[in-house]
Amino acid sequence: MGREGQTRGGTHVILRAHDIRKSFGEFPALNGVSLEIKEGEFVSIIGPNGAGKTTFINVVTGLLTPSGGKVFFKDRDITGLGPLKLSGLGMARSFQLVNIFPELTVLECIKVAVVSRLGRGRRLFSSLARDQEVHAKALEVAELFGLAEKSHTPAKKLPQGDKKLLDVASAFALYPEIILLDEPTSGVSTRDKHAIMEILVSASERIGIKAIVQVEHDMDIVFGYSDRIIALHQGKVLADGTPEEIRANEEVVNTVVGRKARALGRGA
């Protein structure tokens, strides 16, 4: 079950990237990327391997400093700010905490994000154990993502679909205004992919998230859930449009989407 065409963004720009460039040695991973994300939008970034998708997300979320250009969040220049400061301003990305803290339980992983949001990082593990406010808020997010019954399960023992849900839930626990996700459904079955997306969309509405940006390779998911699709190729924006406009763009179809994927998207 998709949501294509159900919503469209408003007019207020919440995130803007202007002429973003990032080089690794002599390799230009990003070569002048400019785009805007408006409130109310679900935007998917697509492109072949090496197109610059993850590099772009890493620059926007402060994990990488751009070689050139500026990033603005709610009209504030956030270029080069780290993820911790950005989370305080209202921007979050999936943490992949399962890989960072595999021994922690599901609830403890979510608590890590809650502690960060409440500004209690200096006493992280004591907060996880004794803070009732942290416990209540983490349990609320776990229930939102259907993970409450597995609260005490070590993260490393979860099936892959639930690990992905936990990664996303941890980012949602920051209650951000905008969330950026790097392949939130990779490595899971088609059924689990759609389940994850449905939960993600529902949770974003419940929490009040204003915009979602995801990097995604699965074109069925991309066409089924996106309001806008941005195609990157060789570090540049190849196309930026609605799913219908992207399907009709022969250059994007030939370079990124593929004709079979376009046919799948049309039936989403």
Show the tokens assigned to 200: 């993600």
Domain 1-90+177-188+210-268 is classified in which CATH homologous superfamily? P-loop containing nucleotide triphosphate hydrolases (3.40.50.300)
Q: Which residue stretches of the chain are H helix? A: 53-60, 83-89, 97-100, 106-117, 124-130, 132-144, 160-172, 190-207, 219-225, 243-248, 250-252, 259-266
Strand 211-215's sheet: what is its strand order?
91-93, 178-182, 211-215, 42-46, 228-233, 236-241
- Residues 52-97 have pLDDT tens digits of 999 999 999 999 999 999 999 999 999 999 888 898 899 999 866 6
Q: What is the mean pLDDT of residues 163-185?
A: 91
Rounded Cα gap, residues 60 and 86, in angstroms: 10
pLDDT of residue 121: 55
DSSP state of 256: I
The amino acid sitting at 264 is L
Q: What are the extents of the domains in the chain?
A: 1-90+177-188+210-268, 96-175
9 pLDDT exceeds 60?
Answer: no
Rounded Cα gap, residues 5 and 227, in angstroms: 6
- Position with higher pLDDT, 125 vs 256: 256
4 pLDDT exceeds 60?
Answer: no
Show the tokens assigned to 4: 């294509």
Judged by average pLDDT, the poorest of 34-38, 86-90, 241-245 is 86-90
pLDDT of residue 215: 94
